[in-house]
Amino acid sequence: MLKRLLLLGFLGAFTITSYAQEEKILKLPSFDKPLFHYGFYLGVNNNGYKVSYKPSDITNNPEVEVSSSVGFNVGLIADLRLHNNINLRFEPGLMSNTKTLKFNHITGADNIKTREVGATYLHLPLILKLSTNRLNNFRPYVLGGISYDYNFSSNESNSDDNFAGEFRTTTSNLMYELGIGVDFYLSYFKFSPSIRGVFAVNNELVRDGQRPGGSQWTDPIDFLGTRGIFLHLSFE
């Protein structure tokens, strides 16, 4: 589903770009002059986990298979113009999706091997946006930034761990994101689709409590961090 959305987004971008190249009348000619402006955004994401392993007495060949459902992003935009081609943006919002972890190195019933991990983040990114000069009614850009993410669904403080069926992750997380996009100047607002990648900096794994023989779910894992891509549609 996400691949179809991305394909439609790219096709739409190329269509509007072709139209913008032919358009001679500038729309919203003074839009970029104010020091501040505001907006909102909507989007969809497909966020999974990057998993790396460490030597473990539990197994010699750990394997965690990660699958994820399409989630959503929604939030607000506050934009500060630093230069004609540089903007600093604060984009607070919510980012949510569900991941399924399958521990293939564990033998047993599916309810032992599989954990469903829901994640709803308060996403607080600070973004630096670098744009080209305006070309008629469109303007390509690249962006990058760092964010603090608070996971409402982490279960970090839950005393139940995987032995009770709960896979826990950290509540406070640091992430960075990179992306590319295009500003389209329309008659009444600016529409800006972008494709972004998001990457966790810290290890989000909360290890299981000490048990005789260790934990077959968390002991073999060295690092578990969010990795994902999302389609971001802003209206300013």
Q: What is the pLDDT of residues 59-76, one digit of tens each?
A: 888 999 999 889 999 999
Residue 125 confidence (pLDDT) above 90:
yes
Q: What's the confidence (pLDDT) of residue 5? A: 47
pTM across the whole model: 0.83
Q: What's the confidence (pLDDT) of residue 20? A: 46
Q: Which of the pair, 9 or 27, is modelled with greater confidence?
A: 27
Q: What is the mean pLDDT of the chain?
A: 88
pLDDT range class, residue 108, cuts 50, 70, 90 = confident
**CA-CA-CA-CA dihedral for 96, 14, 36, 38, to nearest 10:** -40
> What residues does each domain of the chain span?
2-235
Average pLDDT over residues 97-117: 88
CA dist 7 → 50, 97, 183 (Å): 24, 21, 18
Q: What's the confidence (pLDDT) of residue 230? A: 92
Q: What's the CATH architecture for 2-235?
A: Beta Barrel (2.40)
Extract the runs of DSSP E, i.e. beta strands, from the chain.
36-53, 64-68, 71-83, 86-90, 93-103, 114-131, 138-151, 172-185, 190-200, 221-235
- For the record, the structure tokens of 117 come out as 């991990």
Residue 10 confidence (pLDDT) above 70:
no
pLDDT for 150-186, tens place per residue? 999 898 888 899 999 899 999 999 999 999 999 999 9
- Percent of the chain past pLDDT 90, that is, above it, reads 69
Residue 8 confidence (pLDDT) above 80:
no
217/149 Cα distance (integer angstroms) = 24
Neighbours of 68 (CB within 10 A): 21
132 three-state secondary structure: coil
